[in-house]
Structure 1
Amino acid sequence: MFQQKLPIILASKSPRRQELLKAMGLDFKVVLKDVDESYPESLSPAEIAVYIAEKKAAAFTDISADSIVITADTIVAYGGEILGKPADKAEAIAVLNKLSGSVHQVYTGVSLSYAGKMHSFYDLTEVVFNTLSADQIEHYVSNHNPYDKAGSYGIQEWIGLVAVEKIIGSYTNVMGLPTEKLYKALSAL
């Protein structure tokens, strides 16, 4: 069993990632830094998620060597297209229309930095969506906040209850942090 002996820094403003670390029983503090999240177009979705997580981790070179820094990035991919955070309501509706009645992939890249070393990994979950009506999509976009979520949705919200037919892989990965793999990685430190 993992026994926390070192301070943990979560480099994420995501309330979902914070909730997941709390649920894991970890004591941590949130420290944020602005990082350019651009990436080379030649990368696969898994490589993009890890690349951005590592860019975020590289911004924390000034943190004490006796702390573990956790960074993460979540990518939603549909038919080879990366579906980021929507810019506005029209884009959120368009993305949810794409996902309706289809299968998409969610990749989360995670980097753990400790004592000048970085350990990175990713997780993949396939998500099968039921077909959504225009009214259901409008309801979700109008009553929830799709704008801070890759793919325009949060699986833990209303849409997850009505749209997600099944997932193949980690549920927490779709929320933004594959806790199962993170636990193993922390235990290995």
Structure 2
Amino acid sequence: MRVEGRGVAWEKSIDAATLRLTYPTDKPQLIFGNAYKITAIANKGKAPFKADSSVVNVLPENTIKRVFDVVRKIESLNLPSDEAALLDLDAIYMSENLLDESIKALEKVSKTTSNPSVKRMLGDRYLEAGLIREAIYSYEATLKLANKKKDREELSKAKKGIETAIFYSQLPKSRNPDQ
């Protein structure tokens, strides 16, 4: 793993069996409001085999506080879980591109809901995260619920979501500059 950004540049090898890395306490802390490039490099033997990078933005501390204050207020309203997840929690999380938090909220509600919109939105978020298999599974669950409820709009959106997920699943996974 390699982490690079303002005031931070380090790399560390991790064991293939664990595939986890806790942020090292002996490395400079990530600073609120800065962007960092995180690169995972897989080796085959001692030679690099594949690499993938992501840019991570560490939100300013006041933004994080504001988001979680709003989340606490939403939760204190005791809204039906479908409504809270769809309209409010997803909106506040996605306003700051907190995709993982949105997925967690939608997954929690998705386990107990019969609302096809929740399942479809979860599929949309999975797709945004590049979790193609999970997106297709969620869209298929949407199709079943939307068929039962005769919800044409969600049927259409789920079908389009499956088509998009299949398209992205067929894209090349790596590039070979020699070709």
Larger proportion of strand:
1
State if a TM-score over 0.5 links the two structures: no
Where relative contact order (Cα < 8 A, 6+ residues apart) is larger, the structure is 1
Larger proportion of helix:
2
TM-score by length of 1: 0.29
Larger Rg: 2
